[in-house]
Structures are given as C-alpha cells and as structure tokens.
Amino acid sequence: MEENKSIKDELKEIKQALEDSNRDNKSKKPRPFKLPFKAVVNPGKLKKGYLTIVKIEDNMAVDFTREPIIDGTVKLEDTYHAIEEFDIYNYRGKPLIFQPKSKLNPYNPFRTPLEGENETYGQKYVMARMEGERITAKKQLGWGIGIFVIIGIIALGVYALVTGGAG
C-alpha cells in the first residue's frame, strides 16, 4: 500500500470492497431446510397416525424421528409422552411436534417453557398406555404352575401302575 494515500481514496476502496462483497452475497441463494429421511412421514404412514418428532435431549441436542400416535401418546425409546391436538404443528402439510425427552408433554411456545416442573395433565394417557404394554408375568406363571401340576398327577398315576397300587 501507498503511505501517502488520502482518506478519500481509502474510503473509496472500502466502499468498493463492501459493494463487491454484497454483490457476492446476493448471488448465493439460501438452501431450504429439509427433514432427515428417517423423519419424513409419507402418505401411507400419515394415514396410520404417524408424525415427525423433533426430540430435544437434555443436553439440547436435537434428533428427528417418526413415531405413531397410540391412544394420545407417543413412545420415544424408553419414555412415553402425552400429546394433545394443539401441540401438533404442520411442516409442509405433515404433522410435527417438539418433544423434550425429559418432559411429559411436547414443547409448545404458546403454553410452556423448556425449563420448569413436569406437567401432569397428560399423565392419565401415559399411564393407560404403559398399563396396556406392561409385561403380564402373572399369566405366564399360572400356565407354568398348571403344567407342573398336570405332570405331577401323571407321574403319580404311572407310579401307582408300576407299584401295583396307590402307596
């Protein structure tokens, strides 16, 4: 650079550089947002009650997935969450919710913040779904005992026949 440039010349160079950078920025078009493929709900899944879920983890990481709505609830890995109609948004005509992993109900900017206490107004739906999906070990235990008793009776009958009478 020249050391004896005037301030006017330096301002002209700065203005020229700004105009060039603005011209370059205008030529670049912003790319539209696209959902990850694993979260896209096609028309067949839409008829079956699926929706796109933006899962917000505790460390504020975001993951996209699609899950069905069953009895007003959604299951994310190992947790159940209650959903109501006013919590569902539309993205390009497809249903979408923002679900914090640690909350019972979806995030709705018009209703609840991300921080705070857990809501209880969806608890009955979550409990009903959990009861419907619980493992029924009691019924399996009943069958096991019944089979064991039948085998015992047969063994006593065979013993009685072999020994020539009931002991």
Per-residue pLDDT reduced to its tens digit, 16-49: 888 887 776 666 677 888 888 888 898 898 899 9
Q: What local confidence, expressed as pLDDT, does residue 78 receive?
A: 86
- Among residues 62, 61, 38, 34, which one has the least CA distance to residue 50? 38
Per-residue pLDDT reduced to its tens digit, 111-146: 756 555 656 667 777 888 888 777 665 555 667 788
Q: What local confidence, expressed as pLDDT, does residue 53 receive?
A: 93
Per-residue pLDDT reduced to its tens digit, 93-110: 899 999 998 888 888 777
Query: What are 127's two structure tokens?
Result: 């409990």
pTM of the model: 0.56
How far is 77 from 66, CA to CA, in rounded Å?
A: 12
Q: Per-residue DSSP letters for 3-37?
A: TT--HHHHHHHHHHHHHHHHHHHHHSPPPPP---G
Mean pLDDT, all residues of the chain: 82
Query: What are 131's two structure tokens?
Result: 């009861």
Q: What local confidence, expressed as pLDDT, does residue 107 receive?
A: 82
